[in-house]
Structure 1
Amino acid sequence: MTYQETIGYLYDRLPVFQNIGARAFKPGLHTTKELCKALGDPQDKYPTIHVAGTNGKGSTSHMLAAILQESGYRVGLYTSPHLKDFRERIRVNGVCVPEEFIIEFVAGQKFNIDRLSPSFFEVTVAMAFSYFEKAHVDVAVIEVGMGGRLDSTNVITPELSVITNISFDHMQFLGDTLGKIAGEKAGIIKNRVPVVVSEYQNAEIGDVITAAAEAANAPLRFASNAFEVKVNDFSEGKMLVDVIEKASGRTVSKGLATDLTGSYQLNNIAGVWAAKDVLIAKGWKITDDAVRSALQSVRAITGLKGRWQQLRQNPDVYCDTAHNTAGLTMTLAQFETVCKGRKRFVVGFVGDKDISTMLSLFPKDADYYFCAPSNMRALKAEELQSTALEHGLIGKTFGNVNEALEEAIKDSAPTDAIYVGGSTFVVADIESL
């Protein structure tokens, strides 16, 4: 098969969550373990770092990968979903897995795919583990897909576990309280493996994670209790931050530049800083120069896209993959601060989410351009328009995000600002991304 035929086979043969949602969700580790066993358990052949969370796990994974790469290590990075190309999910030192490897892997695993009937995600996880072994990585950063306890990636025993922000998302799978969701995320905590939590949010979440760490004899550190990360300035497209050690009041890094300029990155940076300290204590060679070099060029080093990314100026256009209430709350607050003129929103959502709470976050005094992502789960633009009207949001419908964005730019004065988002898949459809 060609590469396109191989990818087509994976999408046609296997249940894909991004296309069909709940029907593709396959909790449990048995199938992944069987796939990995058939491959010789490649996930056990190199050190790993496991990253879970509701929001921030993708950015955190990319930052950690960039830091390790700038420190001279050969770094595997597994993330999901992809935005433009399936190969984005599996990278080594920022370079996507070759098409030839995917073709060969799928051809060699057809027997096991037929025998085990895995999900799309289970196959991609096993594929990543296999590729990292064959690429001779020094370490792999592995982002959890959903939850943690029953996520396919949870077959690894990492050097370090990291848990970022926890909020309401995928409640039909993870539970209807923050405590229950935290319990699923804490399922990545392993016996005696250090765990860093980026943010101490509240006792409901904190107590669950603390109990899980104590039960596993896992050293636990809440990064936000140890460090404060404050915005110092913005310069040449970079956000400059100070990292302050709370116990001593000492500034441990001043004017640290990062090309990830979303305000929500402050908590992620605190988590990354704490994770970096844990790795150094375990013997990993990471210098301050490597951290500075990495964080100012995360996008270039790892290929990260879609996190508070400015696409153009005059009018300013920003996109973000925030797709739940907690994420949108932060990105919309930041959008409010950068818009000097009229606010315009190009938005679309998937159809199997309750979007009422998210729509209530958007301002009524703005112009809306409703669209649908090119995804089987997409909410039709006309349905979104109708639901949005119930929240006082008025706008027109468009066939896709690019038509909507083109119209929004045409309608804008140079001082206006446009926000594109609502769903990861809307951002993925942007041609100029």
Structure 2
Amino acid sequence: MDYTETLDFLFSRLPMYQRIGPAAYKDNLDNTLRLDNYYGNPHRHFKTIHVAGTNGKGSVSHMLAAVFQAAGYKTGLYTSPHLKDFRERIRINGEMISTDEVVEWVDTFRTNNELWKIEPSFFELTVAMAFDYFARRQVDIAIVEVGLGGRLDSTNIITPEVSIITNIGLDHTAILGDSPEKIALEKAGIIKAGVPVVIGTSQTETKPVFDEVAALKLAPLFYADQEYSVAYALTDTDGNQLLSVEKNGETLFSQVKLDLKGMYQQKNLPAVLKTVELLRQMEWEISDESLLLGLAIAKKMTGLQGRWHILGYNPLLVCDTAHNAEGMTEVVSQLNQTPCKKLHIVLGVVNDKDTKRILSLLPPDAEYYFTRADIPRGLDEKGLALLASEYGLNGATFSSVEKAFASARSRADKNDIVFVGGSTFVVAEIL
């Protein structure tokens, strides 16, 4: 097989949650454990950090990877979903796994599977590929982002140095539960016996869940936002955020530069800082210089895309992968704080999200371009427009993201903003 044929096997012949939704979700780790065993338990051959949460886990993972890279460690990074290229999911020191590696690995799996007879999901097989690759390349540490939930996620066979749960929001409720408490319990499934756990955002509903699970596991528990306080200082000439950081009320850093431009990164940073603090206590050598350098060029070092991602200026063209109410709240807040003459929003969602909650947050004075991402889960653009009209959101419908984006750009004045979002897959099509 060549690379194109390999991707066709991965995307078309294996159940893939991103395309078909809950039907691809496995409610056990049987396949993951079988694959891990057949590949010689590769996850035991490198250190890890495990990152779960409703929003922010990708950003936290990339920031931590950048910090480790800046400190001189050979760093693996496993994240999902990808935006443009499958290989974005598996990186070492910011470099994506090669096409040849992917082709060879899948070819070998298919040959071996004639005997093994495993029927893995797309995600199960991808995790096995990543862990095997990291072990063979002898990484010092891998930052591993949870795909969905935590307890039954294929990544949850690792015993990390630190477990991180960024926050809890109402997303994937059909699988994880219909309340913050139920979802928190699923995310808390990554908490391991004796392993420190960092909670990024303290929430009244979920704190008792984390407290109880951590106590049962004898896992030291830390609420990062109760120790670290991050405040916006200013934006430099390149658009990077300059932030001030306090720990327990005392200035820790007067100026921390972030090349990740979303203002919501201020809420993700405490989890990163607390994790680095704990790692230093475990004798990981991460200086303040490495920490600050990694944060300053995290996007450049790790290839992170789609988080308040600026595509161009005059008009300002920006996209963001926020795809639930909690994430969209942060994006709308930043849109409201960004001066413009008129706001144009290219919007598409997938059909298993709480679309009404998302629509209720959006500004009615914007001009909308309703569209559908080119995946089976994409919500029909005409149905989306009809639903949006109930919230006073009006605009035209387009059969493709490309057409919607082109129309928005053509209608926008140089002092306007064109925002693209609502779904990771909508963003992927215009990057």
* TM, length-normalised to structure 1: 0.97
Counterparts of 1:18 and 1:200, CA distance in 2: 29
Which residue is 2:307 aligned to? 307
Shift of 1:13: 2.0
Q: Distance in 1 between matches of 2:143 and 2:400?
A: 34
Amino acid at match of 1:177: S
Q: Which moved more, 1:216-225 or 1:376-385?
A: 376-385
The aligned counterpart of 2:148 is 146
Deviation (angstroms), 1:370:
0.9
Residue-by-residue CA offset, 1:53-83 (whole Å, 9 max, x unaligned): 0000000000000000000000000000000
Aligned to 1:112: 113
Aligned 8 A contact 2:16 2:123 in 1: yes
1:364-383 mapped onto 2 (5 Å cutoff): 364-383=364-383
Whether the aligned pair in 2 keeps the contact of 1:48 and 1:156 (CA below 8 Å) is: yes
Worse-matched range after superposition: 37-46 or 356-365: 356-365
Aligned residues of 2:88 and 2:96 also touching (Cα < 8 A): yes
CA contact (8 A) 1:239 1:259 kept: yes
Which whole-Å CA distance do the structure 1 matches of 2:379 and 2:340 have between them? 31
How far residue 339 of structure 1 moved from its aligned partner, in angstroms, is 3.1
Is the CA contact 2:76–2:93 (under 8 Å) kept in the aligned structure 1? yes
Q: Which residue of 1 aligns with 2:175?
A: 173
The answer on 1:361 being equivalent to 2:367 is: no
User: Which stretches in structure 1 are left out of the alignment for 5+ residues?
Assistant: none
* Displacement of 1:49: 0.4
Q: Which residue of 2 aligns with 1:80?
A: 80
> Which is worse superposed, 5-14 or 329-338?
5-14
Distance in 2 between residues matched to 1:268 and 1:245, nearest whole Å: 15
Aligned to 1:190: 192
| Cα offset, 1:399, TM superposition | 2.5
In the superposition, relative to structure 1, how do residues 12 and 402 fare at CA in structure 2: closer, same or farther (>3 Å)?
closer
Shift of 1:262: 1.2
**Partner Cα separation in structure 2 for residue 190 and residue 422 of structure 1:** 34
Q: Distance in 1 between matches of 2:274 and 2:312?
A: 34
Residue 219 of structure 1 aligns to which amino acid in structure 2? P
Q: Which amino acid aligns with 2:326?
A: A
1:123 maps to a residue whose letter is: L
How far has the Cα of 1:263 moved from its partner?
1.8
CA–CA separation in structure 2 for the residues paired with 1:390 and 1:406: 26
Q: What's 2:287 paired with? A: 287
- 1:225 lines up with 2:226 in the alignment: yes
Quote the Cα distance in structure 2 between the aligned partners of 1:108 and 1:185: 33
Once the two structures are superposed, the pairs formed by residues 60-139 of structure 1 within 5 Å of their partners are 60-110=60-110, 111-112=112-113, 115-139=117-141
**Distance in 2 (alpha carbons) for counterparts of 1:339 and 1:27:** 46
Give the letter for the 2:140 counterpart: D
Letter of the 1:89 partner, please give it: R
- SS for the counterpart of 1:228 is strand
Q: CA offset at residue 402 of structure 1?
A: 2.3
Q: CA deviation at 1:12?
A: 2.4
Aligned AA (1:255): Q
In structure 2, how many angstroms separate the alpha carbons of the residues matched to 1:272 and 1:81? 21
Q: SS at 1:365's partner residue?
A: coil
Distance 2:21 2:404 in 1: 25
Root mean square deviation, CA, Å: 1.1
CA distance in 2, matches of 1:413, 1:3: 42
Between the aligned partners of 2:230 and 2:169, the Cα distance in structure 1 is 21
In the TM superposition, residue 136 of structure 1 has moved relative to its aligned partner by 1.1
Q: Is the 8 A contact 1:17 1:25 kept in 2?
A: yes
For residues 4-19 of structure 1, what are the structure 2 equivalents within 5 Å? Answer: 4-19=4-19
C-alpha distance in structure 1 between counterparts of 2:246 and 2:211, whole Å:
24
Q: Distance in 2 between matches of 1:55 and 1:213?
A: 21
Map of 2:251 onto structure 1: 251
Partner Cα distance (2:151, 2:207) in 1: 17
Q: Output the amino acid matched with 1:228.
A: S
Distance in 2 (CA, whole Å) between partners of 1:6 and 1:311 is 30
Question: What residue number does 2:213 align with?
Answer: 212
- DSSP-derived class of the 2:88 partner: helix
Q: CA deviation at 1:108?
A: 1.5
Q: Secondary structure at the match of 2:345?
A: strand
What amino acid does structure 2 have at the position aligned with 1:10?
A: L
Which one is further off, 152-161 or 388-397? 388-397
Partner of 1:154: helix, strand, or coil?
Answer: coil
Q: Secondary structure at the match of 2:256?
A: strand
CA distance in 2: counterparts of 1:352 and 1:96, whole angstroms? 30
Would you say the 8 A contact 2:314–2:415 is kept in 1? yes
Measure, in 2, the Cα distance between the counterparts of 1:328 and 1:354. Answer: 12
Report the TM-score when normalising by structure 2: 0.98
How far off is 1:309 after superposition? 1.1
| Structure 2 contact 324–354 (Cα < 8 Å) conserved | no
Secondary structure at the counterpart of residue 429 of structure 1: helix
8 Å contact 1:35–1:112 — kept in the other structure? no
Do the aligned residues in 1 keep the contact of 2:244 with 2:254 (CA within 8 Å)? yes
Say which SS state the counterpart of residue 159 (structure 2) adopts: coil
Provide the rounded CA distance (Å) in 1 between the counterparts of 2:181 and 2:96. Answer: 36
274-283 vs 401-410, greater mean Cα deviation? 401-410
Give the Cα separation in 1 of the matches to 2:429 and 2:380.
15
Structure 2: distance between partners of 1:73 and 1:5: 34
Q: Tell me, in whole angstroms, the C-alpha distance in 1 between the residues paired with 2:76 and 2:153.
A: 19
CA deviation profile, 1:181-232 (whole Å, cap 9, x unmatched): 0011010000001111111122x20110111111111111100000100011
Unaligned stretches of 5+ in structure 2? Answer: none
Q: Which is worse superposed, 374-383 or 237-246?
A: 374-383
Are 2:425 and 1:420 equivalent residues in the alignment? no
Q: Distance in 2 between matches of 1:14 and 1:366?
A: 40
Matched residue, 1:346: 346
Structure 2 residue identity aligned to 1:158: P
Separation of aligned partners in 2, 1:34 and 1:100 = 25
Give the whole-Å Cα distance in 2 for the aligned partners of 1:83 and 1:75. 21
